[in-house]
Structure 1
């Protein structure tokens, strides 16, 4: 299952709409023992969020879904605001940040990173 974004995905992500703020929805499924590793990852990520203008808006445990298909329940949900897609891209490319990404990779068995933009800021179709 997918856990980490790859180079081509990041390039497309930045090219789609540079310059607008976004909130990244993180849906997380922990590997055995992963919750502790992810806690360490989030603790160490705080400095990088501050450096690149990001902000953890919400983090919480997933509970029993009201509406979902089988297998769509998640262990945890995070919402992280970034000033723009370039800020996110610069953060994940930062060599110091790269030193801690292994914690996230080992902590998760599956993840979704879904960029979102606030209503009222989308391009008109």
Structure 2
């Protein structure tokens, strides 16, 4: 299962309004014992990487029982994270400080969805 952004994802992501703010929806499924690793990752991220790139966690919460979903679509946690731009996100994931903490995120998760969003009414340039 996917837990990190790799390959062609970043190229396509950057091609879509690279200088506009973006809110990423994170759906997380923790590996056994993974919540503790994710808490370590979150703390390190908030203290070192987020301020450098202007990243803001808009919402973070535990997933509940879904009202409408297929089997297996329940998530352990949901986060909405605002980045000042797609370009800033791309720079962040290449930053050595970020790369030093990603092992915690990888170890924490068994599956994840990281989906960029766009405000309704926003047209691509």
Give the alignment's TM-score, normalised by structure 1: 0.94
Structure 2 unpaired stretches of 5+: none
1:117 deviates by: 1.6
Residue 86 of structure 1: aligned partner: 87
SS in 2 for 1:32: coil
For 1:82 and 1:26, locate their aligned partners in 2 and report how far apart those are by CA, in whole Å: 13
SS in 1 for 2:4: coil
Give the alignment's TM-score, normalised by structure 2: 0.94
For 2:37 and 2:110, locate their aligned partners in 1 and report how far apart those are by CA, in whole Å: 12
For 2:44 and 2:119, locate their aligned partners in 1 and report how far apart those are by CA, in whole Å: 27
Residue 43 of structure 1: aligned partner: 43
1:17 deviates by: 2.2
Kept after mapping to 1: 8 A contact 2:17/2:124: no
SS in 2 for 1:109: strand
1:18 deviates by: 1.2
After superposition, the CA RMSD in angstroms is 1.2
For 2:57 and 2:32, locate their aligned partners in 1 and report how far apart those are by CA, in whole Å: 24
Residue 22 of structure 1: aligned partner: 22
Structure 1 unpaired stretches of 5+: none
